[in-house]
């Protein structure tokens, strides 16, 4: 699994542990869901930027914790030659919101960032939580991956 991580705004920086945690969680999803040939782009950001995206793409006028932009929902043209890479899409994670939620839920930032990465990755793979049955399935998948990562609610 290729995990490309960037910051936005670019001058904003985050501890290396956060990037390492995002990479570890995304790679675990790749391994467990047989998309090790996958590629995901992850942008680490703040509440102001994710608020703008949430309003623009979802019509919700507030910050959120993670946004997923799946590329596999559309038909991409076939390419010849080169490695067979499955470009899954993009994740945008508000580290600021993750910090707030970790404190609110009483667990570590490490756990919250891993959870948000797993949650976003599952969306890229087609999981959703709009209906009760979908939500229950997605929650079960999230627990499964977090268990494989060895990260509890701490």
**Tokens 């995002």 correspond to what residue?**
22
65 pLDDT above the threshold of 50:
yes
In a domain, 6, yes or no: yes
Confidence of residue 73 (pLDDT cuts 50, 70, 90): low
In a domain, 80, yes or no: yes
Asked which of 67-71, 75-79, 117-121, 140-144 is least confident by mean pLDDT, the reply is 75-79
Q: What integer pLDDT is reported at residue 80 of this predicted model?
A: 47
Name the domain count of the chain: 1
Query: How many helices (H) and strands (E) would you count in the chain?
Result: 5, 4
Q: What integer pLDDT is reported at residue 154 of this predicted model?
A: 58
Q: Greater confidence, 154 or 53?
A: 53
Q: What is the CATH number of the domain that holds 42?
A: 3.40.390.30
Whether the Cβ atoms of residue 47 and residue 94 lie closer than 8 Å to each other:
yes
Mean pLDDT of the chain: 91
In a domain, 154, yes or no: no
Mean pLDDT of 50-74: 92
How far apart are alpha carbons 93 and 77 in whole angstroms?
29
In a domain, 136, yes or no: yes
Confidence of residue 152 (pLDDT cuts 50, 70, 90): confident
Q: What is the CA radius of gyration of the chain?
A: 15
Among candidate residues 108, 131, 105, 153, the one with its CA nearest the CA of residue 142: 153
pLDDT digits (tens, 9 = 90+) for 95-123: 999 999 999 999 999 999 999 999 999 99
The domain of 127 spans 2-149
63: buried, middle or exposed (CB in 10 Å: 19+, 13-18, 0-12)? buried
Whether the Cβ atoms of residue 21 and residue 145 lie closer than 8 Å to each other:
no
In a domain, 105, yes or no: yes
- Buried b or exposed e, range 3-24, using 16+ CB within 10 angstroms: bebebeeeeeebeeebbebbbb
pLDDT digits (tens, 9 = 90+) for 120-145: 999 999 999 989 999 999 999 999 99
In a domain, 35, yes or no: yes
**Vertex 69 angle, CA 64 and 73, to 5°:** 140
Q: What integer pLDDT is reported at residue 85 of this predicted model?
A: 76
Residue 52 tokens read as 């703008």
Q: What integer pLDDT is reported at residue 77 of this predicted model?
A: 43
81 pLDDT above the threshold of 80:
no
């Amino acid at each position: 699994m290729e995990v490309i991580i960037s910051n936005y705004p670019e001058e904003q920086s985050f501890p290396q542990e956060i990037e390492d945690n995002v990479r570890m969680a995304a790679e675990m999803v790749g391994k467990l869901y047989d998309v090790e040939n996958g590629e995901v782009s992850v942008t680490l950001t703040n509440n102001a930027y994710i608020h703008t995206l949430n309003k623009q793409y979802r019509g919700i006028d507030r910050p959120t914790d993670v946004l997923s932009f799946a590329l596999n929902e559309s038909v991409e043209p076939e390419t010849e030659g080169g490695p067979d890479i499955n470009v899954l899409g993009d994740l945008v994670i508000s580290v600021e919101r993750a910090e707030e939620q970790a404190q609110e839920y009483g667990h570590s930032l490490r756990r919250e960032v891993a959870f948000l990465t797993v949650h976003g990755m599952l969306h890229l793979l087609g999981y959703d939580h709009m209906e009760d049955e979908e939500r229950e399935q997605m929650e079960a998948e999230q627990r499964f991956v977090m268990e494989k990562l060895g990260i509890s609610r701490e």
